Every structure is written in C-alpha cells, then in structure tokens.
Amino acid sequence: MIRAVKGTRDILPPDSHIWNRVEAVARNVMHSYNYSEVRTPIFEETALFARGVGEETDIVSKEMYTFDDKDGSSLTLRPENTASVIRAYIEHRLDQRPGLQKLYYIGPMFRRERPQKGRYRQFSQIGAEVIGSESPAVDAEVIEMVVEILSRCGLQGFHLIVNSVGCKECRPKFIARLKEDLTAKASQLCGDCQRRSTTNALRVLDCKIPQDQPVIDTLPSILDHLCETCAKHFSAVRTFLDDRGVAYEVRPRLVRGLDYYMRTTFEVVHGSLGAQNSVLGGGRYDGLAESLGSRVHSPGIGFSIGEDRLVMSVEEADPHANKDSIDLYIAPMGEAALRHSTTLARDLRRRGARVELAFEGKLKRAMELANKLNARYTLIVGDNEIASGLYALKNMASGEQENVTRDQLAERLYG
C-alpha cells in the first residue's frame, strides 16, 4: 500500500469542516479591511527565495525543496509567500494602482524540516501583505487584524509579542556589537547558534534551546541600539496598539528568521503547541521590493498564519469545533417519493440549505444515518405526503415531529 509521504497528511471530513471555517473567517475579516486575494504559483525560480529570504537563513540553506527543470533552470517549491507576492507586485506593476496594495493569500507551502506537533513538510499558510506605506499606523492595523482573525476563529489564551529590529542604518551596528559579544560566548551555545554567530547573528537571539537561554540573556538588546527614526517608529506602533486596546508584550529577542524583516516584527504564541509554540509571525520589510528589482520604493508589512497550527489550537480550545452537520436529511419512501424528493432537494439547495437525500433503504436506516450526519431535521416523504402536500418533519435535537407544507419547511430551515 502506498502511503502519504512523510511530513504530509490528508485532511478528511469532519476535520476539513474546521479548516473551511477558519479560512472563511480569515477571508471575511480581511475583506472587511479591504484586502484582495492574490494567488501565486507554488514554485518559483530558486533565486527569488535566495535573494528575498536570505541565503544564510535556515529556510534557504537547509529546508527548501529545490530541483532542476529540464531547461537547466533551478526551481523551488515556495517555502513562504511574501517573496512571491512582492515578485508579482513588481512584475505586474501594482505600484501603478491607486492607494495601498492590500493582498492576502491562502495556500500550501513546503519546507523539509523535521515533522513535529503542528509542523509538516507541506503546510498551509494564511497570510497578507500591505505594500506602499511606512506609517506605523499601518503596522498597528495589520496587527489588529491578526488579533481579530484569531479571536473570531475561537482561539483563546494567545499571546502577542512585538519588537523592532531596526533598519539598514542601525541594525548593522547592533549586529557588529552582537558578534563581538558572541565571539567569547558562542562555544557555550548549541551547534546551530555557533554557526549563526558568524553567518546570521540575529537568529541566535531567537534560539528556542533551553540550555542556551542563560547565555542569550546576557547578550545586548536591540532596543538599546535603535536609531532615532526607528525608536520613534516603534514608539508610535505601540501607541496605536494601545489606542486600539490590543494587549502585547515587548520582547527584544524577537527577530524572526528571515533577512528581509526590518523595524516592526511580531509573533503570536499559544501554550497548546509546546516548545515550538508560534501560531503566526510577521513584520515590516521596507527594502525587499528593491532587493528583488523594483525601481520604486515599495515599503511593506505582512504576516503569515500557520493554518495547521491554528486549526490544532482551535480544536484543542473547542473539541466540538470540527463537528459537521447538515440542515436536512430527506428520507423518501418509494420510487415516486424519490423522484419528488430530488426536485425538492434541488430547490432547497438553491436557497442555500445543506441537504442530504437518501437514495435507498428503509426508514429506520434513514433515521440512523440522519443522526450520524448530525442533521438538524429529517423530512419523511411518502405517497401520502405528496398527495396531501404535507411532509413529516422531525427535529432531531428535540425529537418533536410535525406536518409542514413546502413553504413552512423553508421557514424552519431559513427562519
């Protein structure tokens, strides 16, 4: 028997119900903030991610699925989508459109990392990008929208963390200071951090290894090294968040794992996910478009939600979150009743009801199936019901049964 590849999985009913619900919530919230959907290819030229994400990041150096095409070009399954969205923004000259470009996406990403709780080699992300403004008010609105999505999905007890990682003026000076400190301390850290201390020193601050934390606690804070412009920007972001009543913690170690981040970075964590407890992350990337070839300054900020991890957290908060149901189960008694019921079901479906029709079997079996399918109502249709124009409608929760006309049936389902 051929099984799913390691690090991938099938999402089956009823679990797919909560996936659809989470995605519908995200779409509705982002629509209310005037975002439009963008769909990019699932593979791109490898250079896009090497230049955009950073050659020394773990994603590019360790985790990408890269292959040679028949024409000799190097292609990569997208490990994240911000670089792809910015590529599309540049290629299709979206900078020529009026106002901010507010784009969202939902889809699969691919990273060959060690599978663990809530992390897969093919995983889904819900993300958004706002391109065209450096305003801290935009940062705060993006973060507010993230919190709104999580809250409406039913996630409780999540924790928002924010930080600033500076800009091209002040961050290099901080990194030089950080490397200087790490020269004497790197040998006390894990192997990954020893490598990062020379290739990507900021990532040392984000290490999750418990044994490394006492050493990392002694390293300098980037908030003490921000230039005046970055310090004012971060202060304004916090003010706008305070105005909105958004609770957060400032954590100077939060640097995120991608090279393109600058100034505002943020992350949401949730206790149900264990040590690797991040549900989403995001931040500002004001120089990314230029690094990918844009001739126009196109500052931006975005985020990505790990949908696999969000769904897992929502399910743990509400064990019944994935419970699927239908509005009506129709049980026809006989061939004539089946023909009548097919058009009845069609008309109800056209009005938006979720209807299941039994094509065969006895009434007892039909009622058992209606229970298993969590039907709100079961409708019994026989020759007498067709002749009289009255159907026997059973409320599956209360057990009460009544005779209803077709119009009364619609009232029960939609009223």
- Computed over every residue of the chain, the mean pLDDT equals 87
Choice among 281-285, 319-323, 377-381 with the minimum mean pLDDT: 319-323
Residue 53: band (very low, low, confident or very high) from pLDDT cuts 50, 70, 90 = confident
d(CA 272, CA 372): 30
CA dihedral 222, 223, 229, 234 (to 10 degrees): 120
Residue 352: band (very low, low, confident or very high) from pLDDT cuts 50, 70, 90 = confident
pLDDT, mean of residues 281-296? 89
pLDDT reported for residue 258: 64
pLDDT for residue 229 is more than 80: yes
Output the DSSP codes for 283-344: EE-TTHHHHTT-SS---EEEEEEEHHHHHHHHHHH-TTTT---EEEEEEE-SHHHHHHHHHH
pLDDT for residue 320 is more than 70: no
pLDDT for residue 8 is more than 70: yes
| Angle, helix 228-244 to helix 136-152, in steps of 10 degrees | 40
d(CA 270, CA 273): 6
pLDDT, greater one: 255 or 293 = 293
CATH 3.30.420.40 applies to domain 326-414 = no
pLDDT reported for residue 145: 96
Share of residues in the chain with pLDDT > 70 (%):
94
d(CA 98, CA 243): 28
pLDDT reported for residue 103: 97
pLDDT for residue 288 is more than 50: yes
Are the folds of 15-170+226-317 and 326-414 the same?
A: no
Residue 272: band (very low, low, confident or very high) from pLDDT cuts 50, 70, 90 = low
pLDDT, greater one: 40 or 213 = 40
pLDDT, mean of residues 18-47? 95
d(CA 57, CA 55): 6
pLDDT reported for residue 118: 65
pLDDT, mean of residues 244-273? 83
CATH 3.40.640.10 applies to domain 15-170+226-317 = no
Q: How far is CA 38 from the centre of its chain?
A: 14
Token pair in block for residue 312: 């897992």
Residue 179's alpha-carbon distances to 172, 173, 202, 386, in angstroms, are 10, 10, 9, 82
pLDDT for residue 281 is more than 80: yes
Residue 117: band (very low, low, confident or very high) from pLDDT cuts 50, 70, 90 = low
Contact (Cβ atoms closer than 8 angstroms) between residue 122 and residue 7: yes
Longest Cα–Cα distance of the chain, Å, equals 91
Residue 288's alpha-carbon distances to 32, 74, 85, 203, 301, in angstroms, are 27, 21, 11, 19, 10
Sign of the alpha-carbon torsion through 25, 28, 34, 40: positive
169 φ, ψ (degrees, to nearest 5): -85, -50
Q: How far is CA 275 from the centre of its chain?
A: 19
Residue 69's alpha-carbon distances to 40, 52, 229, 313, 335, in angstroms, are 19, 21, 45, 38, 57
Contact (Cβ atoms closer than 8 angstroms) between residue 246 and residue 160: yes
d(CA 305, CA 303): 7
**What's the pLDDT tens digit per position in 54-104?**
665 667 767 888 999 999 999 999 999 999 999 999 999 998 898 899 999
CA dihedral 225, 227, 232, 238 (to 10 degrees): -30
**What's the pLDDT tens digit per position in 362-405?**
888 888 888 888 899 999 998 888 888 888 999 988 989 999 98
Sign of the alpha-carbon torsion through 314, 319, 322, 324: negative
Contact (Cβ atoms closer than 8 angstroms) between residue 162 and residue 143: yes
| Angle, helix 171-185 to helix 191-199, in steps of 10 degrees | 140
pLDDT, greater one: 219 or 124 = 124
Share of residues in the chain with pLDDT > 90 (%):
45
pLDDT for residue 52 is more than 70: no
> If we measure between CA atoms, which residue out of 373, 384, 310, 340 comes closest to residue 151?
310
Q: Which residue has the tokens 């600033």?
A: 164
The residue length of the chain stands at: 415
pTM: 0.84
pLDDT reported for residue 57: 64
**What's the pLDDT tens digit per position in 126-162?**
999 999 999 999 999 999 999 999 999 988 889 999 9
d(CA 375, CA 366): 11
Which segments within 95-198 are labelled E, that is strand?
Answer: 101-110, 122-131, 159-164
Residue ranges of the domains in the chain? 15-170+226-317, 326-414
Q: Which residue has the tokens 């040679």?
A: 68
